[in-house]
Amino acid sequence: MLKTPQAESKSVDIMLRNNIKLIGKGEKTIILAHGFGCNQNMWRFILPFLEKTYQVLLFDYVGSGNSDFSAYEKNRYQQLEGYSLDIIEICDALELKNVIFVGHSVSSTIGWIASKQRPELFSKMVAVCPSPCFLNLDEEYQGGFERQDLEGLIQLMEKDYIGWGNYLAPIVMGSDLSPIGPGMSESDTLVHELLSSFCATDVTYSKPFAEATFFSDYRSLLPDISHPCLILQSSNDTLVAVSVGEYIKDKLQNAKLEIIEGNGHCLHMTHPMHVFNSMKAFL
């Protein structure tokens, strides 16, 4: 089907806006969606295995990575629906349907928002260390953080951005922040990479994304999601406890939960073969 000039223009604009890269030759498309403070490069460890079988779409949310920051709209990106609109517009611009959506952390929720609005865009979904809510709310649901602690983290982001990154990056990666030097381990390198990613983005863009990520509650969305979903949960994740993964599995209509033995919140970086093998079996 030929695209109209208007559709062609929109496709080009969105390709640049979201720094889209299409890799691989498969008939089925996988979209890899990065988490807060990250970028598409974080998927590079599993990309060589996926591109042999699938067309893989990598992108950066507006305000992250190498996206077009001039396209940033303050009101739009103060809530997760704004980021889900990025995904919907990408699919529409490239005329994609029945894609496999893989989301890391908050991108899992962003993908669920998009799938409820436009279910025909997706066939299956994979959630890596997801959380519909990071707050401790009641006896039934403990998201991991008290509101005042997260408010303090946001205040630190405003006052001391580097200090905020130094505090959060080791927690997310599940490894200490060691000095840069010849004796660095792979886990040390990954922590510094995440820290660099955090600090590369201006607080103007990262603060609204952080607030939308950590203060939102999308638990009520889960029962409406009918797509088959694989939940990959780290056995030792300071940000998201195993109990959260169990909660998500119980609330989704069609979900499988797999616990991967490991530390941290970025299993696709620290345990890429485990993630790939689990995805392969599910897909």
Q: What percent of the chain is helix, strand and coil (3-state, nearest 5)?
A: 50, 15, 35
Indicate whether this model's pTM tops 0.85: yes
What is the bridge-based pairing of β-strands 255-263 and 122-128?
A: unpaired
The closest alpha carbon to 193, from 71, 65, 283, belongs to 65
Distance CA 52, CA 4 (A): 32
Which of 11, 64, 84, 105 does the annotation list as catalytic? 105
**Catalytic residue check, 265:** yes
Q: What is the CATH number of domain 5-143+217-282?
A: 3.40.50.1820
264 Rama class: left (phi>0) / alpha (psi -120 to 50) / beta: left
Which of 34, 104, 192, 265 does the annotation list as catalytic? 265
Whose tokens are 């999601």? That residue is: 225
The four Cα atoms 216, 219, 223, 225 give a dihedral, to 10 degrees, of 40
CA angle 217, 256, 245 (to 5 degrees): 35
**What SS3 class is residue 232?**
strand
Hey, where are the domains in the chain?
5-143+217-282
Q: Which strand ranges, in their side-by-side order, compose the sheet holding 55-58?
A: 21-23, 55-58, 29-33, 99-104, 122-128, 229-236, 255-263
Inter-CA distances, 185 with 64, 121, 164, 189, 195, Å: 27, 40, 23, 6, 16
Distance CA 72, CA 201 (A): 13
Distance CA 219, CA 131 (A): 9
Neighbours of 168 (CB within 10 A): 20
Rg of the chain over Cα atoms, rounded to whole angstroms, equals 18
Structure tokens at 210: 């952080």
Which of 67, 237, 268, 274 does the annotation list as catalytic? 237
Q: Give, for all 283 residues of the chain, the pLDDT tens digit.
A: 334 444 444 555 999 999 999 999 889 999 999 999 889 999 999 999 999 999 999 999 999 999 999 999 999 999 999 999 999 999 999 999 999 999 999 999 999 999 999 999 999 999 999 999 999 998 889 999 999 999 998 998 888 877 877 777 777 777 654 444 445 555 556 776 776 676 667 889 999 999 999 999 999 999 999 999 999 999 999 999 999 999 999 999 999 999 999 988 989 988 999 999 999 999 9
**Catalytic residue check, 237:** yes
